[in-house]
Amino acid sequence: MTPLDQAKSDLAERAGVPVDEITLVSSEEVTWPDSSLGCPQPGMMYAQVLTNGSRIILSAGGRTYEYHSGGRRAPFLCES
């Protein structure tokens, strides 16, 4: 399963919509400045190491959702 397919599958489950109703807005390869993968959480410490990954923006039900990935981590919804 590709990272895009993983992100779409996760969003379909979260939003309660069929995968075919999810639209790709954009997808790009990025180099995150640290291991937070562009989605730092309050109170957490992150390794200060450049990490290759991706940013996938999807749309469903009139809302957009941003997924990040990097290193060995599968795409996850970045809500910060």
Eight-state DSSP code of residue 20: G
Q: What is the pLDDT, as a whole number, of residue 73? A: 93
* DSSP assignment of 44-56: -------EEEEEE
Q: What is the pLDDT, as a whole number, of residue 1? A: 87
CA dist 75 and 69 (Å) reads 4
Eight-state DSSP code of residue 19: G
Mean pLDDT (10-residue bins), the chain, 80 residues: 95 96 97 96 95 97 96 91
Contact 6, 75 (CB under 8 A): yes
